[in-house]
Structure formats: C-alpha cells, structure tokens
Amino acid sequence: MLDILIGAGHGMNSCISIASVGDTVFGNTLKVSRSVYSQADHGHEKLRSRLENPGYPPLAVFAGGTPTNPNILPRFRTGIFYYKPSIQIVTIKYFTYSNIYQTNMSWVKHVFNILTCPFVIAKIKYHPEIQSAKPLEQPQDFANRVGKLIAEKIKGEYTKYNFKDCLWFNGHDEYISQLSDEFKRDHHWRGNNIEWQEKCKLHNLDPQYSWPKDMFPELK
C-alpha cells in the first residue's frame, strides 16, 4: 500500500490491484485514478482492453505483490506479461526509523509500525531502459527476466518462490493448495511461521534464520 501512495505522488497514477480493495475507501480512491481491479480467475479481458487503449495512462504493476523485506523479490506473477507490454522499471528505496515491512504475523503490529514511524524518506527512480518481450518468450520467462533485472538494480535477490508461499507461511492456510513446487520441496517441512518458531524454540535457535533440516533431529 505504501508503494502505491508513494508512486501516486510521482506520476504513477494508475495501477493494477486485487478486486477486493474495490469495496474500501482506498479502493474508491483508486477508481478515480482509472486503476484496474483484477484477480487470477477473472479480469483478464478488462486488463487487455485497458492495455490496448492508447487513451489510458500507463499502469503501475507490482508483479511480486507486497514485499516482505527490502532485498528479496518473490517470483513475479505473469498476468501482465501475457500481453507483452513495454515495461519501464521503477524502484523505490525507503529510509525509515522503524520497520515498515510485513515481517511478522501480526497485521496490527505492521500497521502500528507504519503509523508510529516519525518520518519516511523514499527515493524513487525511473530507470530509462525499456524492457520488451523477446520473440517466442513465454510469459513466465519474460516476468523472470524483468524480476532479475530489478533485483540486480536493488542489489537484492530474485527468488524461485512465489508470493502465495509467503502468505501461507504467515498464517493464511487457504493458500496451501497454491504453494510453489520449489517451496514445498525446500521449506514446507518448516511449517508456517508459528510452527517454525516452536521448532526453533525446542532447540534454542533464532527463528529469524533459515536453519537446515539436520538441525532438527526429530524431523529425520
């Protein structure tokens, strides 16, 4: 959400957002900006029509979802990349007093951290090079290429895990059927965030670290 607000003040007046926010005050504000509400199971025709109409302003796309920290990018979703638009990369770097990233289970604490942060300095950069799909390039390959370029620019890491993996780990059990194969192979044994903290507590380990499985004899 903070990304959208910062971007709106610097020329990114339209964005793609999940349909559920359309029922909120925030969603009604986005409607004025001619944003597009879309979900995986519907909304593609609306998006296609929007992209093909030259009368609309450019769309801001957060293909990785809401970042969980400033250095890691989940694998990009492919919705916008199916239409092979020209893409300009924009990066935002935050300088804050307190943690404004969703790195804990409690949304209440997350909102509290944002509201009690005395100041936020944001550095937004429009990178001049334009990215276009290569001939016969698949949507996921196009998305991955753009994601890796962004990770390179922020000196971060573009991972093979998706945003639903993050949501499930943070307690949203409804996404268990949408976990990536890579996450199930590498990290599903940890359980969700609460289960992981309990496992680490048994062995006096800090749950903020990605301890290997052999540190937990009971799992062998």
Domain boundaries, the chain: 2-172, 187-220
Which pLDDT score, from 0 to 100, does residue 28 have?
60
Q: What is the pLDDT of residue 145?
A: 95
**Which residue would you say has higher pLDDT here, 82 or 198?**
198
Average pLDDT over residues 195-199: 94
How would you label 204-215 residue by residue, b for 16+ Cβ within 10 Å and e otherwise? Answer: eeeeeeebeeee
Residue bearing the bigger pLDDT, 50 or 15: 50
Distance between CA atoms of residues 144 and 28, nearest Å = 32
What 3-state DSSP class applies to 89?
Answer: strand
Instruction: Provide long-range contacts, Cβ within 8 A and 24+ apart, for 181-189.
Output: 187/161, 189/213, 189/219
Say what the pLDDT of residue 57 is. 72
Span 153-167, average pLDDT: 89
